[in-house]
Structure 1
Amino acid sequence: MRVAMASEAAGRPGRTNEDFTGAVPTAAVLVDGAGIPGTESLCRHGVAWYASRLGGTLLALLSLAPGRSLPALLADAIEQVTDAHRDTCDVTNRLSPSAAVAILRLSDGLVEYLVLGDAYVVLDRADGPPLVVSDPREVVISRSYEPALKTATAGSDEYNKILSDLRSNRNHPGGFWVAKDDPRAAQEAVTGNCPASGLTPAGAALLSNGASGIVDRFGLTDWPGVMAVLASSGPDEILRRVRQAEAQYAVAADDATIAHCTGFGQAPRAGRMRAGGVIAGAAEGGR
């Protein structure tokens, strides 16, 4: 399996990239960190640390335990990262760092996938339209809070209270699920598989919600169009179009990340670096 990656921070002053992506020869991981600026009293490490630590731990587990299920590996990763800062940070606080996660793994002729939170996995099938895997629960619930958030001043007590109320739905039955401090959330992920032989040469892609905006936010193309652009021009072109649309419509930019996976069933090549991660090597992540 070959993986091309691109990751770009939102570019706002004082912000680092809170996305992570990385790969090993048979798997790719994307982590989209989430949190509120100014909550260092809850977690001294921050969102970028959490996303990078979770992504790196997942890559290690995918390499060391290829036979275990993806939810089991994600649960172990969440537990390990939580243990790493449980003694220094308020890991259970609803405002402490969390993340959406997408995983893709090639195993015994199957392409396995997992999505937890508002990330995407897209598989370009030869016998039909792309299979688009998403977890819409957070988006559906978050939309009900959008009117109140728009009228509140970002960073104010009122704004943070609204976000706190929103996050009370997180990792709760009837709410939505993300990677945070509870490994049981991994069992709520959307999972599945398809034959590797059933994919086109365009392969598959993992996208953070900042990158998926090319379809679900701005409507610049559809998912077949995304896979066509990835096949012809690579993930950098998707990010360029997203940034262009954000500027055109004067909307807040978001960190945007894509991992484009191809060459299923072929022998892995030597590792090479791309923005946001490493192929067949130690991951490099964080916003």
Structure 2
Amino acid sequence: MRVTMTTSAAARPGRVNEDFTGAVPTAAVLVDGAGIPGSESLCRHGVAWYATRLGGALLGLLSPVRDRGLPALLAEAIEQVTDAHRDTCDVTDVIAPSAAVAVLRLSGGLVDYAVLGDATVVLDRTDGTPLVVSDPREVVISRSYEAALGATARGSTAHRRILRDLRSHRNQPGGFWVAKDDPRAADEAVTGSCPVSGLSGAALLSNGASGLVDRFGLCDWPEVMTALASGGPDGIIRRVRRAEARQGVAPDDATVAYCTGLDET
């Protein structure tokens, strides 16, 4: 497999990018870190550290051997990172750093995938109908908070209080699931596999990048995959930034990993 193009753009100049993406010959990983103002007092490392450590740990565990499923590998990676800072940070607090995760692995003529949280995997099938893998639970719950969040100033006490209440639904039955401190959350990942022979490529996207389709509705997934095949992720990111500016939406970190040569391992 060739991860021929990866692009990661921070939400604003001078701001630390809280996304991570990386690859090994048979796998690709994307981690979209999440946190809110005030979490620095809970975790001295920060969201970007969490995302990078989790992505690195997961890449180190991935192999082309399918003797362990992706949820088991993700659970081990979560446990490793949690152990690395549980003695110095309040890892269990609802606003402590967390992350959405997307994973792709090649093995034995199959592509395995896993999505936890609001990241997206798109498998570009040769028949022109992409298979889109996402986990809508966080988006569904977040919609009920949009009006209240929009009525308060970002960074204000009221805004932080609403965000804390939203995040109290994380890793709870009836809520949504992300990588944080509890490795059992990995069991909630959306998973599956399909034959490599029917695929021409694949993409992993953070929610900042997938918003071109699922937030702004400016194109569909076949158009995204065609754009990636012809021009790479940069054009997708630029279109997201223009959409955010036109609609007055606060920019988000946007990351795309585009994979080709899936049948070459």
1:83-105 Cα offsets, whole Å, 9 max, x none, are: 00000000000010000000000
SS of residue matched to 1:40: helix
The alpha carbon displacement at 1:65 in A equals: 6.6
What is the CA–CA distance in structure 2 between the aligned matches of 1:24 and 1:66, rounded to whole Å? 15
C-alpha distance in structure 2 between counterparts of 1:5 and 1:259, whole Å: 4
Partner of 1:148: 148
Instruction: Specify the code of the residue in structure 2 equivalent to 1:224.
Output: P
- Corresponding residue of 2:194: 194
SS of 1:176 mapped into structure 2:
coil
Q: Which residue of 1 aligns with 2:216?
A: 218
Residue 214 of structure 1: CA displacement? Answer: 1.1
Q: CA RMSD in A?
A: 1.3
Quote the offset at 1:158 in angstroms.
1.4
Match of 2:247 in 1: 249
Corresponding residue SS for 1:154: coil
Matched to 2:249, the amino acid is V
Helix, strand or coil at the partner of 1:179: coil
Q: Distance in 2 between matches of 1:231 and 1:67?
A: 32
Q: Structure 1, residues 17-66: CA drift from partner, whole Å, max 9, x if none?
A: 00000000000000000001232110000000000000000000114975
Q: How does 1:1-287 map to 2 (within 5 A)?
A: 1-3=1-3, 4-11=5-12, 13=14, 15-63=15-63, 67-127=67-127, 129-200=129-200, 203-267=201-265
Alpha-carbon distance in 2 for matches of 1:27, 1:47: 23
Confirm or deny: 8 A CA contact 2:102 2:114 kept in the other structure. Answer: yes
Structure 1 pair 64/38, CA: closer, same or farther in 2 (3 Å)? Answer: farther
CA distance in 1, matches of 2:262, 2:36: 38
Q: Distance in 2 between matches of 1:129 and 1:205?
A: 14
Q: CA deviation at 1:250?
A: 2.3
| Amino acid of the structure 1 residue aligned with 2:204 | L
Relative contact order higher in (CA < 8 Å, ≥ 6 apart): 1
The one-letter code of the counterpart of 2:239 is R
- The whole-number CA distance in structure 2 between the counterparts of 1:263 and 1:224 is 18
Give the partner amino acid of 2:248. A
TM-superposed CA distance for 1:128, in Å, is 5.0
Comparing 101-110 with 119-128, greater Cα deviation is found at: 119-128
CA offset digits 1:121-143 (Å, max 9, x no partner): 00011235110000000000000
Unaligned runs of 5+ in 2: none
CA deviation map 1:215-242 (0-9, x unaligned): 1122221000000000000011111111
For the residue of structure 2 that corresponds to 1:104, the secondary structure is strand
**Equivalences, count:** 264
Output the amino acid matched with 1:246. E
How far off its partner does 1:209 sit? 0.3
Query: CA separation of 1:40/1:65 partners in 2, compared to 1, >3 Å: closer, same or farther?
Result: farther
Rounded to whole Å, the distance in 2 between the matches of 1:38 and 1:166 is 15
Q: Which amino acid aligns with 2:261?
A: G
Structure 1: stretches of 5+ with no match in the other structure: 268-287
Q: Distance in 2 between matches of 1:134 and 1:71?
A: 15
SS at match of 1:261: strand
CA distance in structure 1 between the aligned counterparts of 2:192 and 2:71, rounded to whole angstroms: 11
Q: 1:35 to 1:187 in 2, by over 3 A?
A: same
How much has 1:160 moved relative to structure 2?
Answer: 1.3
SS at match of 1:124: strand
1:248 positional shift: 2.2
